[in-house]
Amino acid sequence: MPAATATIDVSALYALHGDWLKAWLRRHTRCAHRASDLTHDTFCRILEGADTAPIRDGRNYLATIARRLVIDEARRAKVEAAFLDAYHALMDGAAEPGPDRIAEAVSELLAITRALHELPDKARRAYLLSRIEGWNHADIAEELGVSKSMVKQYVAKGYARCYAVTYGAPRDRAPAG
Amino acid sequence: MRSLMEHRAIEPRQDNSEPTPDIVKRAAEWLAHLESDDADDADWAGFEAWRSEHSAHELAIERLGGLGERLRGGSEVERETLRRLFLRPRRRMGGALLAVTVLGGVGWLATTRPEVQLYFADERTAVGEMRSVTLADGSRVVLSTDSAADVGQNGGRSVRLLRGELLAEVAHQGPTPFVVQTRDGTAEALGTAFTVRKDAEATLVTVVSSHVRACPAKSAGTNCLTLAPGERARLKGDEAIRLDPVSPSDAAAWSEGWLPVEDRALGDVLAELNRWRSGPIRFDAAALSTQRVSGMFPLRDTDQALANLARSQPIAIDRSDPASPIVRLRVK
């Protein structure tokens, strides 16, 4: 058997390791329901081709993807907690937001968060101060201790990152002909 | 707040109206320029000309404009969430750092903090603790358990790791290189994120993203290695040795409170957990040497990590001393 194959036989992988992965995730999340969801997500990730690393060891491969999903989950929990804190701070005394409202907001915020995480610290702050606080570039430059032209570059970088996360990284066109 | 949620429908388009990287970059620069106060009428005219030049330009502007509005036009709760996640904690830390910089002569440190006097370190963590420090240039250093470092030397871009481990996230490339130094050598950032771990005998440098130049202390700038993401080097004396690479996302998982393990000896894993515990797990490494472990273990709750291990490994845990449990191989 070759050590690495270009295509991944997902159904074989599922038959061999699906139950093991569910058990693995149950141990690491301590919740059977989430373990099932994450098992499902892991195989979806493979089908989407987001992970095309050669498989040397099916279990290690699955565990690597599943682990990343567990970390994503932790990030999601952090975003959700911050959202609820913000909600209660602003809507003092209002009723809890409904589950749909939370789910919608968190998934949107996660997409933005993913883009922001990829920016260097100052670029992230410059972009946020511009876009959510509506500060002008001169104030941002003073706050961050950089030049105004630097702020402009940071904001442009922020735009470009959000674009890539929402629409996929832009690709160069194949030369015509 | 629907407007934030509604992604613009992406219609199938002619291939050449799909923006290329250059077009997206240019469009982002236009928007950033126009929202600064420097834009005059000529700039606006130039922008309109560029935009109408090609359908791909038009589309890039339309998409980017929509993204910008999603943040500014979104609800206050979403904006407040992003503030809490990204803006506030940083500012608080920046303030704290400034106070240390202003007051922080050795004399002040020595008289007010005896443990600092003892170790001459600006930043220390206790066993099981983890701390994030933002440097003056915006770079971030996360100190792992039981670690000590002098941070912000040489204009803020030099860190001396005295013991333990740290993750460096370098804010940007500046005129001064960002360097982490130990007794065994240096790691110089050619990009953004890497970890440095100082053990009793040697120093381990692991790259999380971009590249790092790792140099052993006693080689006068020779024998250096340039490392790519996931690559690791062991520095000792005048040698830099390349080790087997690891997954880049795993290299700094500890900074999020996780220990990722892929096919490692059980004894190694327990030793790793012990770095985060004041009462060590006791075990006989030789007796456990045949057991291999894969999994993800919580570092903030090493008792839980141990319980997880017990479910997948043939081990028995003796908790007669709860602070310092004993792990033995279960007899069949």
Q: Who among B36, B77, B90 is closest to A137 (CB)?
A: B36
The average confidence (pLDDT) of chain B is: 77
Q: Chain B residue closest to A172 (CA)?
A: B20
A132/B82 Cβ within 8 A: yes
- pLDDT, residue B108, reads 30
Instruction: Dump pLDDT digits (tens) for B262-305.
Output: 788 899 999 999 999 888 899 888 888 888 888 788 888 888 88
From A70's Cα to the closest Cα of chain B, the distance in A is 9
Q: How many CB atoms lie within 10 A of CB B92?
A: 10
- pLDDT, residue A49, reads 63
A144/B172 Cβ within 8 A: no
Q: Who among A104, A112, A169 is closest to B82 (CB)?
A: A112
pTM higher than 0.80 for the full model? no
Q: Which residue has the higher pLDDT, B34 or A68?
A: B34
Statement: residue B115 has pLDDT above 50: no
- pLDDT, residue B153, reads 66
- pLDDT, residue B321, reads 85
Q: Which of A107, A163, A171 to mutate to test the interface with B (most CBs of B within 10 A)?
A: A163
- pLDDT, residue B154, reads 60
Instruction: Determine the length of chain A.
Output: 177
A131/B71 Cβ within 8 A: yes
B72/A152 Cβ within 8 A: no
Q: Who among B64, B192, B308 is closest to A163 (CB)?
A: B64
Provide the phi-psi class of B138: left if phi over 0, else alpha when psi is between -120 and 50, else beta: left
Counts of helices then strands in chain A (DSSP H, E): 7, 0
From A144's Cα to the closest Cα of chain B, the distance in A is 9
Q: Who among A24, A89, A134 is closest to B80 (CB)?
A: A89
Statement: residue B111 has pLDDT above 50: no
- pLDDT, residue B274, reads 92
**Most confident by average pLDDT, A30-44, A145-159, A163-177:** A145-159
Q: Who among B32, B37, B139 is closest to A138 (CB)?
A: B37
**Stretch 243-272 of chain B: residues touching chain A, C-beta under 8 Å:** 247, 249-250, 253, 256-258, 260, 262-263
What is the average pLDDT across B306-312?
83
At residue A8 the predicted structure's pLDDT band, cuts being 50, 70 and 90, is low
Residue in B125, B98, B121, B97 with CA at minimum distance from that of residue B109: B121
**Most confident by average pLDDT, A98-107, A168-177, B145-154, B172-181:** A98-107
From A152's Cα to the closest Cα of chain B, the distance in A is 5
ipTM of the complex: 0.72
Q: Which two tokens stand for residue B154?
A: 């040489």
Instruction: Dump pLDDT digits (tens) for A24-36.
Output: 787 777 677 778 8
What is the average pLDDT across B188-203?
85
**Stretch 20-59 of chain B: residues touching chain A, C-beta under 8 Å:** 20-25, 27-29, 31-33, 35-38
From B262's Cα to the closest Cα of chain A, the distance in A is 7
What is the average pLDDT across B322-328?
88
Q: At what angle do helices A99-117 and A58-90 cross, to 10 degrees?
A: 110
Contact A58, A17 (CB under 8 A): yes
Alpha-carbon span B24 to B69, nearest angstrom? 17
At residue A50 the predicted structure's pLDDT band, cuts being 50, 70 and 90, is low
For A17, list phi and psi in degrees, rounded to 5. -125, 0
- pLDDT, residue A151, reads 94
Longest CA pairwise span in chain B (Å): 84
Statement: residue B1 has pLDDT above 50: no
Alpha-carbon span B74 to A65, nearest angstrom? 33
The average confidence (pLDDT) of chain A is: 78
Alpha-carbon span B207 to B201, nearest angstrom? 20
From B112's Cα to the closest Cα of chain A, the distance in A is 31
Using a pLDDT cut of 70, give the percent of chain A over it. Answer: 84
At residue A176 the predicted structure's pLDDT band, cuts being 50, 70 and 90, is very low
